[in-house]
Amino acid sequence: MGETVRWPEGKLVLGMVHLQPLPGTPYHREGSLQEIVETAVASARALRDGGADGCLVQTVDRVYSTGEDVDPARLAAFTLVVRAVVAATGPEFLVGVQVMRNAVRASLAVAKVTGAGFVRVGALVGATLTSHGLVQPDPLAVMEYRRKIGAWDVRIIADIASMHFTWLGGGKPVAEVAAAARQVGADAVAVSSPREEVALDLVAQVRTAVPGLPILLAGHTNHDNAARLLGSPQGADGAFVGTCLERAGWGSPIDAGRVETYLRAVRGRPGA
């Protein structure tokens, strides 16, 4: 089982490691698993070398189940990838797990057995409608399983207003969603909006309603807006960062130089 993992202080910068389709999924390319592992390790090392605090290893497919069902081959391959990333980056680099679309118990299991430090959850409280169907979370089952495998040291970051989660039916203030997520066991929450003023307002609402709950941005940050969205006291406590760190757009390898430049915008100097 995994060891207790350091949870960095200050503004968390977590790069995205997007995996190509894995075995057991419809669009997996036969024989590509070793390449997937090597690409993930290289991207995670580039994030570490550029000064990022950690990464989120995320499965990426063209079609998903909306429940907890995960193909055994997919889960086995994903575990191999995450373990390789953890081993290659060392204990000071925080590795996260997300089995998309919302296989939370599987994510917790992978994190626990590989030594990863957190999971990201697309929907922990409240249903959300996605392009693949309705996602209906079961927080009781998640927390019962978390206890069963002793994964209280694996943090849970729950999306509460983002590209992955919108409260079904609308009208639920983000502060109430944050409080509900915290109540059932979330250690941090994630929000996002392509509009800076909206993103900062979401952060402010959650911070006022649930003091002390870490708030991460779930996308839409880049080298131009990172200082405003993260660098100020009013900014978020961290961010998941993807495309702007990649060499040739979404899903391409991560460039350590781009990571350093992003960190300079957030913290004033690379790797600080």
- Structure confidence by residue, pLDDT tens digits, 91-122: 999 999 999 999 999 999 999 999 999 999 99
At residue 233 the predicted structure's pLDDT band, cuts being 50, 70 and 90, is: confident
Contact 174/200 with Cβ under 8 angstroms?
no
Choose among 219, 215, 195: nearest CA to 206.
215
> What residue type is assigned to position 50 of the chain?
G
pLDDT of residue 249: 73
- Residue 215: phi and psi, rounded to 5, are -125, 120
Between CA 232 and CA 266 the distance in angstroms is 8
Label residue 24 exposed, middle or buried (CB < 10 Å: 0-12, 13-18, 19+). middle
Q: What percent of the chain has pLDDT over 90?
A: 83
Q: How many percent of the chain have pLDDT more than 70?
A: 95
Positions of E strands within 38-186: 54-58, 94-98, 118-121, 128-130, 133-135, 155-161
d(CA 162, CA 160): 6
Q: Which tokens belong to 187?
A: 């250690």
Per-residue pLDDT reduced to its tens digit, 4-47: 455 677 899 999 999 999 999 999 999 999 999 999 999 999 99
Q: Give the pLDDT band (50/70/90) at residue 67.
A: confident
Element (H, E) at 79: helix 72-89
Global pTM value: 0.94
**12-263: what fold?**
TIM Barrel (3.20.20)
Cα 4–chain centre separation? 18
Q: How large is the average pLDDT for residues 131-160?
A: 96
**DSSP reduced 3-state for 34:** helix
Q: How far apart are CA 206 and CA 117, in angstroms?
A: 23
Strand partners, 129: 134
**Domain locations in the chain?**
12-263
Question: Residue 71: pLDDT band by 50, 70, 90 thresholds?
Answer: very high
Give residue for tokens 């919108």: 166
* Interaxial angle between packed helices 33-50 and 256-267, expressed in degrees from 0 to 180 and rounded to the nearest 10: 40
Bridge partners (DSSP) listed for residue 188 = 157
pLDDT band at 248 (very low <50, low <70, confident <90, very high): confident
Residue 263 has a pLDDT of 94
Q: CB of 41 within 8 A of CB of 84?
A: yes
Tokens of 58: 């995320």
